[in-house]
Structure 1
Amino acid sequence: MILDLHRQGLSVTAIARRTGRDPKTIRKYIERGLEPPAYGPRQAGRPSKLAPYLAYLRERVTAIRDLSAVRLTRELRERGYTGAYTAVKRFIAAIQPPEAKPYEVRFETPSGQQAQVDFARFVVTFTDAPGTACIVWLFSLVLGHSRHIEARFVLHQDLQTLLRCHIQAFATIGGVPMQILYDRMKTAVSGEEADGHIVYNRSLLTLAQHYGYLPSACRPYRAKTKGKVERPFSYIRQDFFLARSFQDLDDLNAQLRIWLDTVANVRLHGTTQRVVAEAFAAEQADLQPLPAVPFDPLLKLERRVSHDGLVSIGGNYYSVPDRTRRVVEVHQLPDTIRILDGGRLVASHPVMEGRRQYRIDPDHRQGGAARAMRHGHPDSPMIGRWRSRRPALAGRLPGRRRAARHRDRRSVMSRASSHAATTLDSIKHSLVGLRMPRALEVLDATVRRIEQGEIDGITALDEILTEELTLRENRRVKTALLVARLTTIKTLAGFDFTFQPSLDRERIMALAELTFIDRAEVVHLLGPPGTGKSHLATALAVEAVKAGRSVVFSTLADLIASLAKAERDGALRERIRYLSRASLLVVDEIGYLPVVPGGGNLFFQLVNARYEKGAMILTSNRGFAEWGEVFGDPVVATALLDRLLHHAVVVQIEGASYRLRQHGDLIPEHVRSKALITPPPVPRRRGRPPRKATLDHVAG
């Protein structure tokens, strides 16, 4: 066929294209005058050496999936196999059943609880710059409950851009969620310590503290953890981004805003089966309110003024009033650039997106003397010449002397007022730099009270600092309560001691002084269901948080589940170390649910790690004699009680359920009056008894 085509005048390339062979092969056969051989069907070769053992291999692989090819080859050789290892390996790969994938657990959050944040990379060619591909990043914040999307395209992923996007997103949705989930982006997570503790970016923590939310980072390489923000990226790319043209970045964001308002946030969500806008309207009421003072994360830089009176910041150029070569201080905020010279503000510009852009204030390109003459500034040359001639003109213009004096007096008062305003602005800038939002908020009102003579300067300073400290303390307590997982806040003031006459109020108030934390004691709250054990435990934990102590609150079932998970992940030691660092560990609901096998051993390891090192509060509706049944192992229960009763405070509550107080007539009398908890016997001491024995402490 090749020779026939060659005789017809076809070139080597044409023959190769028609026959599907390489041109070198065509040239070889033409030079030799030969046709390529025609191969028939492949004949069956020798039987495989592995054939007699195929049934055995299938049986072994089906029974135990993870057997290696090396081990199976060794077993076959013991049975007389003389073939190669690769044959066994290929056969196992062909028949091995696929690994069953675990079911995905869908994670839904309550209204106003969580939002997820991430960036996605897009490549766009703007019509203003045809032929030039530009990389833009899509910042997206998705509310976990309603699936409301708040997104914006930016040119960078730097820290200032991240903070600015947060501020704009919070302002648009009109509130702040309780928690925001991030991946391991460098602008959010600085690193991770050896014990697994995540170190967040300091500026991001400042933002979170200002807005009152808790940052959280998902595990590495686990994009499904924040699927609510990952999945919409492909939706935005397919439904909005493709097959559109954009003039510039502003046009891109303008079209995105229209699409979000008319398409994305009004659609029926496929997972929740709710209209996003309706769900967002309901969730918006559960969001935290925005702070009264805007967030100003100050980043201080030093830059040199160029010959043309420009300062380079972030790849863009901003003007200053004169072009004297000198070093100036730059205060970079998420949306504003402030340039100071010798502590005095000389220029302020909005932040520009992109690079190699110029922002020139027209007032910075006019002469200072001309501007002073135009505004009648007292230091201008024209005013100076008038003052120098004023004594000579005074004799000829006696009627104007009084008017000149009034003008001078008004000028002095104007300069004093201007100086006070400048000083007040300087104080405000200092408060912004010191991150004192509450002080900044009350400053103007306090100054007016000083001017009206209501308070003096010392009192005003004390009030401003008190307001700021109160705000910071409230934020600290709020964050600490979230970290402690105290979702329901109870206080001692809200406990009805009159309903439980068996409970000594003075004794509980003594515990609220938190001296038991300093002594690393264990407080046992025992009693039937509904008698207020969890209320008291939560209230004492809240008091500890307010006192600046670190607290961890958990039920026994959740605590053992977290320890078991850490053991499976090989991080049990780190988990116990983390739980041991807390000043107070509260374990609720001991005895309500059965402990899983092995859970008692895990709980014992935690108790042993905290023994005589950290305080604990335990609540239970079961007596100590029943703990062997609770933990499923009398030996483990004995070891636990040996440590938990050594330095212990036992509070027994006997009474009816507070929850059923309105239905007491439905409960039998023998149940209402029965004491379900028997106090533990006080161990006998050897030798001489102590001089002062206390009823509260069970000492060993």
Structure 2
Amino acid sequence: MKGMLAMAQQHYIKYLRDVKDQSISQIAEQTGVNWRTAKKYADCSDWNKAERPLRGKFPIMEAYREQVDTWLIEDQFRLRPKKQRHTAKRIYDRLVSEFGFAGSDRTVRYYVAKRKLELQIEKSEPYIRLEHPGGEAQADFGTFQAIIGGELVERKMLILSYPYSNAAFVFVTPKENTECFLEGLRQLFEMCGGVPNRIWFDNLSAAVVSVGTDGKRKLTDEFQRFALHYRFQPVFCNPAQGNEKGHVENKVGYARRNWCVPLPVANDMEQLQNVINQQALEDLKRLHNAKGVLQQELWEQEKIKLLELPLVSYEAFRLEF
């Protein structure tokens, strides 16, 4: 061990020193530790553990550690529902039935308890910001024209874009009302194969009833239920600050210029959706303009950070007499 500070705190102090270039005094003041402790971690160059390696404590677990860690990490970082996460008993039963594990359930329980504690520390906020970019999205509507059934019509596109990979997915809808908005998000989540951890929105009326003078928003009941159902955190731009979600706004313009010129032609809305989907998938094959890597590769990296889809889809509808 390197002292009494949690690993996340040690990591944050090192981040302030190396990335933010803060002095020892600034770090001590910001983190609430004394100067000597701040210097110890800020200028540390040897992070080897002083304790015995895990191999000595769990020799029979050595061949199964990677598999058990995979199950635990999937539960922790993909935020699976509590009732659908692995218990120590479930892990023991799977090891026995799937891998022929010959150890005791007590050994598995002890190892799982230790790793769950360690994973909670690793999952703290500073660690996520430094080591786990991606998995966040921005959403916005755009208007475009198309020819459907031989008739020129105006339609809306709801775009969900991912700044990390530059991937974008589109749902075509006739309106921007609450039902179309929520149905569009549901369809987009299913196209992505998961749910973003956080989504940035404008203060659109389909989600926001009002914005108070203190900046607090009153959300529609339907949108709140939808966000709880899919477990994402909604984030709203400050009024008149659309640049806070500039990625999706740029993507709306990009989609109109590149995927809707010339005007898309389709027999019906379903075919139009397929045409736009194909354009979005083809766009993933180009290089990311800043990272020099195929967007498809970055998207594959980002996809694993999405939350799992719920077992039951949300049904957006309105009852009227």
Q: Report the TM-score, using the length of structure 2 for normalisation.
A: 0.56
Q: 1:195 aligns with which of 192, 196, 214?
A: 214
2:194 matched to 1:168? no
**1:110, distance to aligned residue in structure 2 (A):** 4.6
Work out the CA distance in 2 between the residues paired with 1:261 and 1:254. 11
> Which residue pairs with 1:228 in the alignment?
247
> Which residue pairs with 2:273 in the alignment?
253
Work out the CA distance in 2 between the residues paired with 1:125 and 1:113. 35
2:256 matched to 1:237? yes
For 1:265, the aligned partner's letter is L
Q: Decide whether aligned partners of structure 1 residues 185 and 243 sit closer, same or farther in structure 2, where only a CA change above 3 A counts.
A: same
Q: Decide whether aligned partners of structure 1 residues 165 and 245 sit closer, same or farther in structure 2, where only a CA change above 3 A counts.
A: closer
- Contact 1:188–1:204 (Cα < 8 Å) also in 2: yes
**1:125, distance to aligned residue in structure 2 (A):** 3.6
For 1:299, the aligned partner's letter is R
Q: Deviation per CA, 1:309-333, whole angstroms, max 9, x where unpaired?
A: xxxxxxxxxxxxxxxxxxxxxxxxx
Work out the CA distance in 2 between the residues paired with 1:239 and 1:109. 34
For 1:124, the aligned partner's letter is A
Work out the CA distance in 1 between the residues paired with 2:216 and 2:312. 31
Cα RMSD, aligned residues only: 2.2
> Which residue pairs with 2:170 in the alignment?
151
- Contact 1:152–1:253 (Cα < 8 Å) also in 2: yes
**1:147, distance to aligned residue in structure 2 (A):** 1.7
> Which residue pairs with 1:210 in the alignment?
229
Alignment partner of 1:299: what SS?
coil
Residues 56-95 of structure 1: matches in 2 within 5 Å? none
**1:117, distance to aligned residue in structure 2 (A):** 0.3
Q: Decide whether aligned partners of structure 1 residues 142 and 228 sit closer, same or farther in structure 2, where only a CA change above 3 A counts.
A: same
> Which residue pairs with 1:121 in the alignment?
143
Q: 2:161 aligns with which of 142, 156, 159?
A: 142
Residues 474-513 of structure 1: matches in 2 within 5 Å? none
- Contact 1:176–1:213 (Cα < 8 Å) also in 2: yes
**1:191, distance to aligned residue in structure 2 (A):** 0.8
Work out the CA distance in 2 between the residues paired with 1:109 and 1:162. 32
For 1:214, the aligned partner's letter is Q
Alignment partner of 1:235: what SS?
helix
Of the two, which has the highest radius of gyration?
1
Q: Deviation per CA, 1:438-480, whole angstroms, max 9, x where unpaired?
A: xxxxxxxxxxxxxxxxxxxxxxxxxxxxxxxxxxxxxxxxxxx
**1:216, distance to aligned residue in structure 2 (A):** 1.0
For 1:192, the aligned partner's letter is V
- Contact 2:189–2:309 (Cα < 8 Å) also in 1: yes
Q: Deviation per CA, 1:249-282, whole angstroms, max 9, x where unpaired?
A: 33322211111122x1221121333311111111
For 1:198, the aligned partner's letter is R
**1:111, distance to aligned residue in structure 2 (A):** 3.3
Residues 380-459 of structure 1: matches in 2 within 5 Å? none
Moved over 4 A (4+): none
2:304 matched to 1:282? no
**1:169, distance to aligned residue in structure 2 (A):** 0.9
For 2:133, the aligned partner's letter is S
Work out the CA distance in 2 between the residues paired with 1:249 and 1:137. 11
> Which residue pairs with 1:111 in the alignment?
133
Q: Decide whether aligned partners of structure 1 residues 234 and 297 sit closer, same or farther in structure 2, where only a CA change above 3 A counts.
A: closer
Work out the CA distance in 2 between the residues paired with 1:249 and 1:293. 25
Work out the CA distance in 2 between the residues paired with 1:149 and 1:141. 6
Q: 1:266 aligns with which of 260, 285, 302?
A: 285
Q: Deviation per CA, 1:170-218, whole angstroms, max 9, x where unpaired?
A: 1111111111100111002111123221122221111110111111110
> Which residue pairs with 1:182 in the alignment?
201
Alignment partner of 2:159: what SS?
strand
Q: Deviation per CA, 1:98-143, whole angstroms, max 9, x where unpaired?
A: xxxxxxxxxx9953442100000112343522xxx42111110012
Q: Decide whether aligned partners of structure 1 residues 192 and 172 sit closer, same or farther in structure 2, where only a CA change above 3 A counts.
A: same
For 2:138, the aligned partner's letter is Q
Q: Decide whether aligned partners of structure 1 residues 137 and 109 sit closer, same or farther in structure 2, where only a CA change above 3 A counts.
A: farther
Work out the CA distance in 2 between the residues paired with 1:301 and 1:238. 38
Work out the CA distance in 2 between the residues paired with 1:239 and 1:278. 21
For 2:269, the aligned partner's letter is L
Q: Decide whether aligned partners of structure 1 residues 298 and 125 sit closer, same or farther in structure 2, where only a CA change above 3 A counts.
A: closer
Q: Deviation per CA, 1:278-325, whole angstroms, max 9, x where unpaired?
A: 1111111111111112213453332xxxxxxxxxxxxxxxxxxxxxxx
Alignment partner of 1:184: what SS?
coil
Work out the CA distance in 2 between the residues paired with 1:109 and 1:118. 27
Q: Deviation per CA, 1:38-86, whole angstroms, max 9, x where unpaired?
A: xxxxxxxxxxxxxxxxxxxxxxxxxxxxxxxxxxxxxxxxxxxxxxxxx
Residues 520-559 of structure 1: matches in 2 within 5 Å? none
- Contact 1:121–1:136 (Cα < 8 Å) also in 2: yes
For 2:271, the aligned partner's letter is D
For 1:162, the aligned partner's letter is F
Identity of aligned residues (%): 23
**1:155, distance to aligned residue in structure 2 (A):** 0.8
Work out the CA distance in 2 between the residues paired with 1:291 and 1:126. 34
Work out the CA distance in 1 between the residues paired with 2:224 and 2:297. 32
Alignment partner of 2:239: what SS?
coil
Q: How many residues align?
A: 192
- Contact 2:194–2:309 (Cα < 8 Å) also in 1: yes
Q: Report the TM-score, using the length of structure 1 for normalisation.
A: 0.26
Q: Decide whether aligned partners of structure 1 residues 198 and 268 sit closer, same or farther in structure 2, where only a CA change above 3 A counts.
A: same
- Contact 1:109–1:145 (Cα < 8 Å) also in 2: no
For 1:171, the aligned partner's letter is E
Work out the CA distance in 1 between the residues paired with 2:213 and 2:253. 36
